[in-house]
Amino acid sequence: MISMKQSVIWWLAPLSLLLMASLLLPPPAFAGGLALSGNFSRQDFETPQGTTLNTPDVYVTVFNNSDEDINIRITTQTPAGVELLLSEEDFPLKAGEQKRVIIGVNVTEAAVPGKYTLKVSAQAYKEGAGIKLMGAAGQTASLTVTGEAASVEVTAVNPDGTPVPAMVRLYKQTGKQNLNVGYSETGSLKTKVAPGTYLAEAYVASSKLADETFSIAANETKKITLEIRTVYFEGFGIVPNYNTETDELAFAEIVYTINNLFEAFPEAKVILKVTKDGAPLDEITLATLAPLEIGRVGLSYNYIPGGGWHKASYGFKLELHINDKPYITSKEEKLELGGGTKATGNINWLLIGGIAGGVVILILIVIIFMMRRRRY
């Protein structure tokens, strides 16, 4: 009869041999090492014959998740007359690294109108005694080639009409989706599009400064001008400051930042315009910047009306003048004063009551703690 101890040994012996054998076996060379992500699979291209779309917004990212260096070859599958334009086609990829591949679409005049599937594949391989394939991954996108076409030209300009080398993006609006159809970094974009509704945007230093939505019909030619202002106000606000003894309003602090994205100007002035119950009250030059450099500058000003504060609704607005010409205006900020010179709703009694209650509870806890200590 086999004892309990002998039974345990009988089970553990083969398990130990299996464990030792698994440790001696070499690890798999490339199991699950290749991965592919990106937004190419979410694209639904729609374009007429004879157009090219090349934008950094459409891409795949190749990952080498293995512990060894590999080579990557990108291949494509397209219908006749259509070509996928790749920023990279064949490249090495070290262990743990990744690389983004930008994908453009070229639809020639030879493409037949219709709906198609486009495919991009990444193939991993190693060179040595011949080429050894080690895995592949792919993504697909849809393409609709239209027979009807229209022509659109989008240009970004300053308020004086001077062209600006802004980043221009063009999207076709389909339902809740914006589909990429055009891209330029020169401030000007001219392309053929399918009939429909479009959104044009202009960017400087990654900030969107202008946009316009428009519709275009078959065989129509349309020019879109996006007027961009590369200097604007940020963080404009009014901070009321009160006399601690009388609780009366002492002054209103005007805080704001000027952000200049593109080019320096010889001179810029900041004008403050104040209204009282909708009627003009004051116009003051807050700052003169000579020159106005590229970048951000934070400024402030303590404002007190000449006739003192009264029960009224005060409005504050900033204007930026460049070379003595109005350039841009801020939104209006309001300061409502009630009961003479005290801001309406300035005291939060609920908050004060909560703080007072917390202090009382803290005092009671300290008293109880001290009484218990005396007992011991």
Distance CA 137, CA 122 (A): 5
Q: Is 295 among the domain residues?
A: yes
Q: Is 5 among the domain residues?
A: no
Write down the pLDDT at residue 26.
36
Q: What is the pLDDT of residues 322-372, one digit of tens each?
A: 989 999 999 999 999 986 565 543 333 333 444 455 555 656 665 665 665
Q: Hey, how many other C-beta atoms are within 10 angstroms of the C-beta on 296? A: 12
The reply to whether 238 and 269 lie within a common domain is: yes
Show which of 227, 242, 260 is a domain's final residue. Answer: 227
Q: Model pTM?
A: 0.72
Residue segments in the chain with a per-residue pLDDT below the cut of 50? 1-2, 4-13, 15, 17-31, 344-355
- How many residues does this entry show for the chain? 376
Distance CA 258, CA 3 (A): 87
Write down the pLDDT at residue 341.
60
Q: What is the CA radius of gyration of the chain?
A: 34
The reply to whether 301 and 244 lie within a common domain is: yes
Q: What is the CATH number of the domain that holds 174?
A: 2.60.40.1120
The reply to whether 190 and 128 lie within a common domain is: no
Write down the pLDDT at residue 35.
93
The reply to whether 45 and 129 lie within a common domain is: yes
CA dist 261 → 164, 252, 358 (Å): 12, 29, 49
The reply to whether 120 and 216 lie within a common domain is: no
Q: Is 28 among the domain residues?
A: no
Write down the pLDDT at residue 351.
38
The reply to whether 193 and 241 lie within a common domain is: no
Q: What is the pLDDT of residues 64-79, one digit of tens each?
A: 999 999 999 999 999 9
**Number of independent structural domains in the chain:** 3
Distance CA 152, CA 190 (A): 6
The reply to whether 179 and 81 lie within a common domain is: no
Write down the pLDDT at residue 175.
85
Burial class (CB in 10 A: 0-12, 13-18, 19+), 100: middle
Q: Which domain holds residue 208?
A: 150-227
Distance CA 172, CA 45 (A): 9
